[in-house]
Amino acid sequence: MNGFDFGGAFGARQPGQGSSSVGGGIWDAVDQLRDAFEQRFTPPRMARGDVRAAVLSLLAEKPMHGYQIIHEIEERSGGTWKPSPGSVYPTLQLLADEGLISATESAGKKTYSLTEAGRAAVDATEGRSAPWESPGAREAARATALPKAGAKLAQAAAQVASSGSPEQVQQAVEVLEEARRKLFSILAQD
pLDDT, tens digit, for every residue of 101-149?
999 998 888 999 999 999 999 998 887 767 766 555 556 555 666 777 7
pLDDT, tens digit, for every residue of 112-124?
999 999 999 999 8
d(Cα 44, Cα 42) in Å, to the nearest integer? 7
Q: How far is CA 119 from the centre of its chain?
A: 30
CA distances from 45 to 3, 38, 130, 131, 145 (A): 26, 13, 15, 11, 16
DSSP annotation of 20 reads: T
Averaged pLDDT for residues 70-92: 88
